């Protein structure tokens, strides 16, 4: 139980980093990142352009590039749609389109199905012997009118899963850039799809099996073990030093 506050702090730090723009990384028109816990709790970070939110999720937002982004209105839309613990970040621009980040936190990943903008997916999280099984199927989008966002057809959509423990199995396929989609940057799995295919309703299937014990928990135990070993070594050296000094003292008095 003592590990949970630290785990929460790590998640919040990762969420903060998720909002940073990486000019050398892959850019997505719409991206959902799920930070999953071995307990089933989850934090979802959505980074998307306003036109993509309109086209894919049917949100009542103005997709024009000159429109002001009202963060409080976006938070209210998500909250009214049944989403929990909603936070909205600062907007930014890319390719003439306005982008926004929305964070949703739930105590059970299945509860994401009750959040309207995330309800295009079905979520399953079960324990199978000593392993955990996560499965998500992203279904058809909503039908919204994004206006004329000047999409080229090369825009990508991504669904990322930040896996909390050792990955036993995953069904990630080859990505758009030709890479094999293997876990990167600490157990991050990425499923990609072209925006045109997502708008056409082609499903995305996420299937992952993982250890039931978190990497963070194991790491803390390793650090604790290493620290204890270091302390024992120091105590042993101090004891040997004192013992030798006492022997020398006895030998000196005897002489």
Q: Are 54 and 142 in contact (CB under 8 A)?
A: no
What six digits make up the tokens of 52?
Answer: 């993509």
> Quick check: helix, strand or coil at residue 220?
helix
What six digits make up the tokens of 165?
Answer: 């423990």
What six digits make up the tokens of 231?
Answer: 């302390």
Residues of the chain with pLDDT below 70 are 1-24, 175-186, 214-233, 235-236, 239, 243, 248-255
Nearest residue to 165 (alpha-carbon basis) of 195, 186, 144, 146? 186
List of E strands, 95-196 = 97-106, 121-128, 131-138, 156-162, 167-170, 188-194
Q: 191-195 contacts: CB < 8 A, separation 24 or more? A: 191/158, 191/159, 191/160, 192/156, 192/157, 192/158, 193/156, 193/157, 193/158, 193/159, 194/153, 194/154, 194/155, 194/156, 194/157, 195/29, 195/30, 195/52, 195/151, 195/153, 195/155, 195/156, 195/157
């Amino acid at each position: 139980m003592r590990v949970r506050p630290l785990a929460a702090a790590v998640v919040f730090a990762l969420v903060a980093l998720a909002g940073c723009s990486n000019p050398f990384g892959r850019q997505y028109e719409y991206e959902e990142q799920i930070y999953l816990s071995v307990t089933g709790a989850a934090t979802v970070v959505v980074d998307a352009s306003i036109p993509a939110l309109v086209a894919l999720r049917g949100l009542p937002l103005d997709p024009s590039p000159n429109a002001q982004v009202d963060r409080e209105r976006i938070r209210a839309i998500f909250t009214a749609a049944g989403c929990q613990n909603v936070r909205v970040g600062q907007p930014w621009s890319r390719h003439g389109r306005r982008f926004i980040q929305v964070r949703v936190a739930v105590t059970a990943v299945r509860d994401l199905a009750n959040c309207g903008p995330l309800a295009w997916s079905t979520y399953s999280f079960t324990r199978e012997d000593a392993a955990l099984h996560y499965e998500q199927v992203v279904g058809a989008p909503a039908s919204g009118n994004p206006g004329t966002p000047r999409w080229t057809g090369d825009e990508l959509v991504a669904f990322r899963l930040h896996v909390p423990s050792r990955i036993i199995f995953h069904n990630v396929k080859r990505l758009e850039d030709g890479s094999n989609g293997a876990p990167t940057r600490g157990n991050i799995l990425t499923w990609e799809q072209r925006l045109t295919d997502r708008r056409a309703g082609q499903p995305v299937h996420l299937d992952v099996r993982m250890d039931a014990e978190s990497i963070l928990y194991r790491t803390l135990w390793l650090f604790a073990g290493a620290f204890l070993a270091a302390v024992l070594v120091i105590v042993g050296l101090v004891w040997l030093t004192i013992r030798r000094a006492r022997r020398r003292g006895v030998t000196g008095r005897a002489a």
